[in-house]
A = this chain, B = another copy of it.
Amino acid sequence: MTDRNAAKPSFATKQRTRSPTLREVARRARVSVMTVSNVVNGRHELMTAETRKRVESAISAVNYRRHESGRSLRLSQRFAIAMLIVDPSPAFLADPFITNVVAGLGNFLGERGYSLVLQGCSAERLDQALAIRNNGTDAHCLMLSGAPAVRRRCLDLVARSAQPLLVFQEAASDVGDDVCSIRQDDHGGAAQLTRHLIERGARDLAVLFPELPWPALEERERGVRSAIGPLGDQVNLVVISCGTGDYTDTQAALAQHADRAGLPDAILAGNDQIGIAALKWLRAFGKRVPKDIRITGFNAFEFWQFSDPILTTVRSPAYEMGKIGGAELLERLESGKFRQHEIVLPVTFQIGEST
């Protein structure tokens, strides 16, 4: 019989004040730890009202908060989801598309008792990322950027973790069975914008995309081409790269292109930010929008209307995407498998003054 008071947990005494445990609450309420656990977990039918009350006052007296690691260890469930954003820039939350997805996902998970672990990371260092090296969550979510080969490498790397995986904005059916891909209809949205431009008389189109190829951008380019398809001989298309896609790069790229090759009669910008930069540069250059040249944006997050004239664009369901993706993921955790492996959400055409 070991005297339990003689225990010498020196490692555990490193902490200044250890936060209260079930045992401490149990001692104060003069019940066993199991009874306290039952109170904490709402199994009120297992005890008398008197006991429950005594335990509850002990809980609030010491402000007991359940230690996640004990529970997780015991249940082999972390009640946490990792969201990995692969972006070469440290400002991995700069795009409102991403923040809307993250907000939707985080809110949904929070309501359901799961926390969201957020990490931005470059593709090169993805194998060093905490969420990959350590096993601290129940599943991964992934938002990718970069060339197709880079994204493929990232996908395979994350898939090696053998955890459920939710991929945003990219098809991923071939990575395994425990994967779900959710994205918006970039193809359809881009096609719709293109048809709209052609209807308005544009024949000499340009897409203005950042150098870093997000999968959604590739999808949009395909959408543009498919809409042009039937009119291939009457409609011309060039691709202009606008560097990082920020204000300065976009304007510089456009200036250089105009110099070398002249201007198209319509520009499909990769997103609203790029569209606005282009629009402003054109007007400074003496062009009238939409009279001389038409411009479209993409995604419509608040500042699509900052420009003058207001952009014609396409509304993105990014917030819903986070939410729906989260629901699908928890469904997977509870049932053992994904109900769907591919989800595509519709976008909404939104006409402005720039076309």
Interface residues of A (CB under 8 A from B): 11-12, 14-19, 63, 65-70, 72-76, 78, 80, 82, 90-94, 96, 99-100, 102-104, 106-107, 110, 113-121, 129-136, 160-162, 246-247, 273, 276-277, 280, 283, 302-303, 305-308, 319, 336
Contacts and interface: CB of A to CB of B under 8 A. Distances in A.
A320 B50 CA distance: 53
Nearest to A118: B118
A52 to B, nearest CB: 18
A288 to B, nearest CB: 14
Nearest to A92: B103
A129 B65 CA distance: 12
Copies of the protein in its oligomer = 2
Given A106-B118, A110-B119, A308-B280, A136 B68 contact: yes
A246 B15 CA distance: 46
A161 B69 contact: no
Contact of A78 (B68, B92, B283, B302): B68
Contact of A69 (B15, B72, B92, B103): B72
A134 B65 CA distance: 5
A91 B103 contact: yes
A48 B100 CA distance: 51
Contact of A302 (B12, B19, B69, B273): B273
A135 B65 contact: yes
A152 to B, nearest CB: 19
22 contacts: A12-B76, A17-B162, A65-B133, A66-B135, A67-B135, A67-B136, A68-B69, A68-B72, A69-B73, A80-B117, A82-B115, A92-B103, A93-B100, A110-B121, A110-B129, A247-B302, A247-B306, A277-B306, A280-B308, A303-B303, A306-B306, A308-B308
Contacts of A160: 63
A116 B113 contact: no
Contacts of A132: 65
A66 B17 contact: no
Nearest to A80: B117
B73 A246 contact: no
Given A68-B134, A102-B118, 19 more contacts: A11-B74, A19-B162, A63-B160, A66-B133, A66-B135, A67-B134, A68-B72, A69-B73, A69-B78, A82-B115, A90-B319, A92-B107, A94-B96, A94-B103, A106-B118, A106-B120, A114-B130, A115-B130, A308-B308
